[in-house]
Structures are given as C-alpha cells and as structure tokens.
C-alpha cells in the first residue's frame, strides 16, 4: 500500500508530515500531520487478513455508548484506520489512577441484556468471539478460556494436557465465581500502554477489546502487569464496591484469559503462569 496516498485520499487533503510510531498489535502505526495542521494516528494493515475495520467499530462503539475518552475515528477500513491523536504517556499518578477509576466505574455501569456483543471483536490482534449468552459463567468458559486455550494448542504453544486440565477446572468454576447482577460494558484490554495520561488526567483509552462481561475481569487485567494500584482500587471500590474474595481468588482466575492470550501470541513463560494458576486451584 502507498500509505501517504491512501491517507490523503481518505481525508481529501495533503499530508505535511508522517513519521512511524511504536505500539499496536495490528499493522504499522504512524503519526500524521495534515496540511491544515491537524494531527492524526494512522494504522496500516497489509497482512493477508486485514482487520482494522474491527478496531474502528470498537472505538466507535465506545464513543457512541459511553463517555470513556477514546480517539475519534476519522476513517476506518480493513487496511487503514485514521484516528485523532491523543496526547499523553502511560505513567499514572495517584490522582490519575483515581480518574481512571471514575471513568471505568462509569463504563461498567453501562449494561446490556446479554453477555458478549452483537459481533466478534479482537484482543491483541487475535479473534475474540462474542456470541451472546445469558450466563456469564458459560460465556467466560466457552468464549474466553476454552476458546483461547484451543487457539494456543492449535498454534503449538499450549500443551494438549494443559487444555484438558483447564477443561476440568472450568467444570468447577462455580465453586469460586458467581453470576453478576447484569452485564457491564468493558474496554477489554486495560493495560499500561493502552491508557494515556497528561499530569493527573486520563486523556484516552486505546486499543480496546470490547464486549459486555463481568467488570471483575477488567479489574483483574489491570493488576496483571501492574497498570494500577491502591489509589485506583480504593476509588473504584467507593463507587462500585468489590465483593470479598476478588484479590484473594477471583483475580487469578479471571487473569487466566489474558494469560492465555499471551500464550497464543508468545508462548514461553506464560504457559508456566497458566500452569501455576491451575495448580493453585487443584488442577
């Protein structure tokens, strides 16, 4: 693809400057300054199966259904995504963590009749099935844990024996997990570099993996790589109280899903992390 020409055609004006940016699991990322002075972020996917239209859908979904700050989509096709440039880095002061808690608590207050979504989405560039279900435990078991573990086995990165252990564990999930009162809208991939901040203010959430689920899976994910800490959880708990047992047990169970995503993407030490969690719960 002639990136410059594709962008200029999409926005119907010349580019003054274009430079590569780091980040993004799907395609190449560029910072683009248009002739009128506006700055955009461009993602380009030249793979055999481009999927940037799915990311465009997810960002628009969050913009249309919530007040979560996300980049406005200017153009979205399978091979090209143009978004507003959001300033900021990914270092979080205590006040910024509290602001993030306010934003995510408000997001989690948004509900729907069923778990899942009207269409499948992506997480880390991987397919994320969202066929809707009235049961969170069924959805989490089938569309999250067993689906992604199966993908790990097919990619040769997860041993078949570990999938079988996971299947046995899933048969006992209701020993530790319960159905939430209602589905909550989730960003789906809240880890450090997907959250931007300037000073004490969150400026944006990027690279979503949207669906309706249990908010605890979102909270768990923020702890997996140390994105947020006590200031975030203290504030979130004031707004939406977290039931006892989350930090002691349920957090590790919910983090099996992002761990399995990382197994599928990278293999290696993440397999050991899945093994450790299964052993901890007796499997």
Compute, in degrees rounded to 10, the torsion defined by CA atoms 61, 65, 66, 70.
20
Sequence-distant (6+) residues with CB within 8 A of 266 are: 157
Quote the CA–CA distance of 125 and 153 in Å, as a whole number: 18
149, pLDDT greater than 90? yes
Quote the CA–CA distance of 99 and 13 in Å, as a whole number: 37
Whether the Cβ atoms of residue 240 and residue 123 lie closer than 8 Å to each other: no
- Output the pLDDT for position 26: 60
The model's pLDDT over 209-224, given as tens digits with 9 standing for 90+, comes to 999 999 999 999 999 9
The model's pLDDT over 33-80, given as tens digits with 9 standing for 90+, comes to 999 999 999 999 988 999 999 999 999 999 999 999 999 999 999 999
Nearest Cα residue to 86 out of 124, 50, 51, 59: 59
DSSP 172: T
**How far from chain centre, in Å, is Cα 170?**
22
- Output the pLDDT for position 27: 66
195, pLDDT greater than 60? yes
Segment 100-129 mean pLDDT: 97
24, pLDDT greater than 60? no
Counting residues of the chain whose pLDDT is more than 70, the rounded percentage is: 98
**CATH for 3-84, options being 3.40.80.10, 3.90.740.10, 3.30.200.20, 3.30.1360.30:** 3.30.200.20
The model's pLDDT over 247-276, given as tens digits with 9 standing for 90+, comes to 999 999 999 999 999 999 999 899 999 999
Distances in Å between the Cα of 264 and the Cα atoms of 107, 175, 275 are 28, 27, 14
Nearest Cα residue to 60 out of 76, 44, 49: 76
Domain locations in the chain as residue ranges: 3-84, 94-280
- Output the pLDDT for position 237: 98
Tokens of 243: 């039931």
DSSP 89: B
- Output the pLDDT for position 22: 73
Whether the Cβ atoms of residue 226 and residue 192 lie closer than 8 Å to each other: yes
205, pLDDT greater than 60? yes
pLDDT confidence bin for 21, thresholds 50/70/90? confident
Nearest Cα residue to 126 out of 104, 146, 157, 147: 147
Nearest Cα residue to 22 out of 206, 148, 152: 206
- Output the pLDDT for position 1: 78
Whether the Cβ atoms of residue 272 and residue 159 lie closer than 8 Å to each other: no
List the CATH code of the domain at 94-280: 3.90.1200.10
For the chain, give the mean pLDDT: 96
Q: How far apart are the first and last CA of the chain?
A: 49
Burial class from Cβ neighbours inside 10 Å (0-12, 13-18, 19+) for residue 158 reads: buried
Quote the CA–CA distance of 40 and 20 in Å, as a whole number: 12
């Amino acid at each position: 693809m002639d990136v410059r020409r594709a962008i200029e055609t999409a926005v119907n004006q010349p580019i003054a400057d274009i430079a590569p940016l780091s980040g993004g699991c799907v395609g190449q990322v560029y910072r683009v300054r248009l002739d009128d002075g506006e700055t955009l972020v461009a993602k380009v996917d030249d793979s055999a199966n481009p999927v940037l239209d799915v990311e465009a859908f997810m960002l628009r979904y969050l913009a249309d259904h919530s007040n979560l700050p996300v980049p406005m989509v200017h153009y979205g096709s399978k091979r090209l995504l143009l978004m507003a440039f959001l300033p900021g880095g990914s270092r979080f002061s205590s006040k910024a963590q509290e602001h993030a808690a306010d934003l995510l608590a408000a997001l989690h207050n948004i509900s729907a009749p069923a778990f899942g979504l009207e269409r499948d989405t992506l997480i880390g560039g991987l397919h994320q099935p969202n066929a809707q279900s009235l049961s969170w435990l069924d959805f989490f078991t089938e569309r999250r844990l067993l689906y992604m573990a199966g993908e790990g086995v097919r990619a040769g990165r997860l041993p078949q024996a570990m999938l079988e252990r996971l299947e046995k564990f899933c048969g006992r999930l209701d020993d530790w997990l319960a159905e939430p009162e209602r589905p909550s809208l989730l960003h789906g991939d809240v880890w450090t570099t997907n959250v931007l901040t300037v000073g004490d203010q969150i400026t944006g959430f990027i690279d979503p993996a949207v669906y309706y689920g249990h908010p605890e899976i979102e909270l768990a994910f923020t702890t997996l790589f140390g994105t947020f800490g006590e200031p975030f959880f203290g504030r979130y708990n004031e707004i939406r109280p977290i039931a006892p047992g989350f930090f002691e047990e349920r957090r590790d169970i919910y983090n099996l899903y992002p761990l399995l995503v990382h197994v599928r993407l990278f293999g290696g030490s993440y397999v050991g992390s899945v093994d450790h969690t299964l052993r901890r719960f007796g499997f």
